[in-house]
Amino acid sequence: MKTRLSCPCGENIKGENEDDLVERTQAHLAEKHPDMEYGRDEILFIAT
């Protein structure tokens, strides 16, 4: 299960599970990178 993602901006995002990680990552993108949108599969592809 992937629960961590390092954004190129330096933010480290951690989730309790994959669903939580996707939700937290999408919230980070909406707040810090509103011009970027990634779906669940794309987020989990780059997560660890």
Q: Residues 30, 43: contact at Cβ < 8 Å?
A: no
Alpha helix ranges (H) inside the chain: 18-32, 40-46
Please give the structure tokens belonging to residue 21: 């990680």
**pLDDT at residue 12, rounded to an integer:** 98
The position carrying tokens 């997560």 is 47
Beta bridge partners of 13: 5
- Report pTM: 0.93
Q: Residues 1, 14: contact at Cβ < 8 Å?
A: no
Per residue in 1-48, pLDDT (tens digit) is: 999 999 999 999 999 999 999 999 999 999 999 999 999 999 999 999
